[in-house]
């Protein structure tokens, strides 16, 4: 089995109304709410199309729509894809995004990351068929993680923008504010601890990465399952020019997480630091947009 090979080359449109298209998800899912992919479309009648992927949470959708709306005003057909287990796709009895932060089971988490990547690839195929022309991708926070993976699996993405995101699950699991609930679970079930995780990432992980020669990651072959969906595992295969933004006071994505991801990307790349926290990075959205537009144009 290869990670994220279940995407749809011929996406099926289930519904279309106003500026929303709903596709069928090609990923097997136990929750019917996440079996459909809602996409907000902003048509600029252009030969350039950008897909924007939001982050985890319950309240950021309204604000992050600003990005695809603004790209459309600047000449890009734009789309915002709703991630599995979020917003309209949230299973009954759960909060938006909760299912990414409610389990320490690496195999379940791997399937949820894989579901996200498969849906991104399916959506990109839909956009490519609908608009033709060049494809671009932008991801915010968690959306940046899965966008990184998706980009490594395609050769037709012309530019990638990553905002307040990172890789290396040692940093994200043990140093991030948002994963505190997972650390409590680890303390209770004794599955992992900071010392054990650090040793895996210092010893086994570099060796695992060195032996990979393509982004077709075989499942259940890594020393631990989290290696198989870490954005860093895929980032070494990215050839797409990439621009990244790091929030200097980010308590969600540790500095080392961002830098590890940036350093392993093997393409033309630029990194900008912004004097904000994670959520307050939205205050500098115009700066992020302007830098991204300039980078993509180049």
Mean pLDDT of 215-220: 95
Q: 237 pLDDT exceeds 70? A: yes
Q: Could you tell me whether strands 36-42 and 20-24 are parallel, antiparallel, or unpaired per DSSP bridges?
A: antiparallel
> Cβ neighbours of residue 188 under 8 Å, at least 6 residues apart?
none
For the chain, which domains are there? Answer: 13-297 (3.40.50.1820)
CA 294, 80, 74, 134 dihedral sign is positive
Are 179 and 257 contacting, i.e. CB atoms less than 8 angstroms apart?
A: no
279 Cα distance to chain centroid: 16
pLDDT at 281: 93
- Residue range 121-151, pLDDT digits in tens: 999 999 999 999 999 999 999 999 999 999 9
Q: Per-residue pLDDT tens for 247-264?
A: 999 999 999 999 999 999
User: Tell me, what's the pLDDT at 9?
Assistant: 76
Residue 187, pLDDT above cutoff 80: no
DSSP percent split of the chain into helix, strand, coil, nearest 5: 45, 20, 35
Find the range with the poorest average confidence among 6-10, 43-47, 229-233, 270-274: 6-10
Residue 201 reports pLDDT greater than 90: yes
Predicted local confidence at residue 193, as pLDDT: 85
Please name the residues in contact with 284: beta carbons below 8 A apart, sequence gap of 6 or more: 274, 276
pLDDT value, residue 8 = 63
45 exposure class (CB count in 10 Å sphere: 0-12, 13-18, 19+): exposed
pLDDT one-digit tens code per residue, 38-67:
999 999 999 999 999 999 876 667 788 999
pLDDT, residue 179, reads 77
Sign of the Cα pseudo-torsion (41, 42, 47, 51, in order): negative
Mean pLDDT of the chain, nearest integer: 93
CA distance 41 to 78: 6
Max distance between CA atoms of the chain, in angstroms, equals: 54
């Amino acid at each position: 089995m290869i990670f994220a090979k279940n995407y749809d080359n011929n996406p099926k449109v289930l519904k279309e109304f106003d500026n929303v298209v709903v596709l069928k998800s090609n990923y097997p899912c136990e929750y019917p709410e996440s079996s459909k992919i809602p996409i907000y479309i902003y048509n600029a009648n252009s030969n350039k199309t950008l897909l924007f992927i939001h982050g985890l949470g319950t309240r950021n959708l309204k604000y992050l729509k600003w990005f695809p709306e603004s790209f459309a005003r600047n000449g890009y057909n734009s789309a915002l894809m709703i991630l599995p287990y979020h917003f309209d796709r949230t299973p009954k009895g759960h909060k938006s995004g909760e299912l990414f932060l409610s389990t320490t089971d690496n195999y379940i988490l791997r399937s949820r990351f894989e579901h996200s990547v498969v849906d991104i690839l399916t959506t990109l195929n839909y956009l490519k068929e609908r608009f033709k022309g060049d494809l671009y991708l932008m991801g915010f926070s968690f959306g940046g993680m899965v966008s990184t993976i998706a980009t490594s699996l395609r050769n037709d993405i012309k530019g990638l923008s990553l905002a307040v995101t990172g890789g290396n699950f040692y940093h994200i699991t043990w140093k991030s504010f948002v994963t505190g609930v997972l650390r409590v679970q680890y303390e209770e079930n004794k599955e992992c601890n900071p010392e054990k995780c650090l040793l895996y990432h210092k010893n086994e992980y570099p060796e695992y990465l060195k032996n990979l020669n393509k982004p077709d990651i075989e499942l259940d072959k890594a020393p631990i399952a989290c290696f198989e969906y870490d954005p860093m595992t895929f980032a070494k295969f990215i050839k797409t020019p990439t621009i990244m933004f790091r929030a200097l006071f980010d308590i969600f994505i540790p500095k080392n997480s961002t830098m590890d991801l940036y350093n392993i990307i093997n393409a033309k790349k630029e990194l900008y630091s912004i004097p904000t926290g994670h959520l307050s990075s939205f205050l500098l959205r115009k700066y992020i947009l302007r830098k991204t537009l300039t980078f993509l144009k180049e």
